[in-house]
Amino acid sequence: MKNILTAPFITEMKEITANMYRLGWDERNGGNISYMLDESVVGEYLDLNNVIRTIPTGFVAKSLIGKIFIVTGTGKYFRNVQSDPETNLGIIRIAQDGTTAELLWGYADGGKFTSELPAHLMSHMARLSVDPENRVVIHCHPTHTLAMNFVHTLDEKEFTHTLWEMCTECIVVFPDGVGVLPWMLCGNNTIGEATAKKMEEFRLVVWGMHGIYGAGKTIDETFGLIETVEKAAQIYMLTCNMPRINTIKDSEMQELAEAFGVTYRKDFLNL
């Protein structure tokens, strides 16, 4: 059996959590990540028959039965993942009842997965129904995106349109736009259900006055989606109180999307 600490998915989680903490997107124990793993790959590092303990998830995830995820722990700081992954991360498998997580590795101090796990599982189910290659869900609190929530309408067409105007790459990187939810109490199934509904249309969902959820095929892709939104939001916050002399026109955004061959939300443009 290979050393689990050398596994590529552990390395990815260590690197992404350290980077997101450094960027200020995941203060204290803010933010969480879940990453669906390939059973055959995990089997090179762990005995999949050795269940350390079981933990109720608080949600019925029948379509995810047997699926394995690496998930950040509740109350854990992203900055500590790199030095102590076995305490701050856990590898779980959704048990046959669909409501229990079988712990295969991690949470070494007796902890458990993030309190947002039901929202993550719901988002995974929604994204897998749209794109079976989607494996990653990231939730974080990017500073400028969050600041934009307080000074911009929380209408997803208007919010997306403004972001698209900020950087030439935006409509190419997230042509499906950004879903937006109003402020909701976090850590419960209600916000998870609302997020999952949006994830049927969008890979990015803003939680009003809270943060953002992103989904993608890989850690890099998902991080890149959020990173691009955050850069656009930063440019908006730097310029929103100044007279705008130049902008990217809707016809130019359409030209961009069609030149790069992406399927974009035409209803989010004013043509």
Q: Name the CA radius of gyration of the chain, rounded.
A: 19
Query: What are the DSSP calls for the chain, one per residue?
Result: ---GGG-HHHHHHHHHHHHHHHTTSS-TT--EEEEEE-HHHHTTTS-TT---EEEE-SS--GGGTT-EEEEEBTT--GGGTTT-HHHHEEEEEE-TTSSEEEEEEE-TTS--B-TTHHHHHHHHHHHHHH-TT--EEEEE--HHHHHHHTTS---HHHHHHHHHHH-TTHHHH-TT--EEE----SSSHHHHHHHHHHHTT-SEEEETTTEEEEEESSHHHHHHHHHHHHHHHHHHHHHTTS-------HHHHHHHHHHTT----GGGS--
d(C-alpha 165, C-alpha 162), whole Å: 5
Asked whether the beta carbons of 138 and 165 are under 8 A apart, the reply is no
Whether 116 is catalytic is yes
Catalytic one of 102, 116, 227, 230: 116
Which one-letter amino acid corresponds to residue 87?
T
Residues annotated catalytic, as ranges: 116
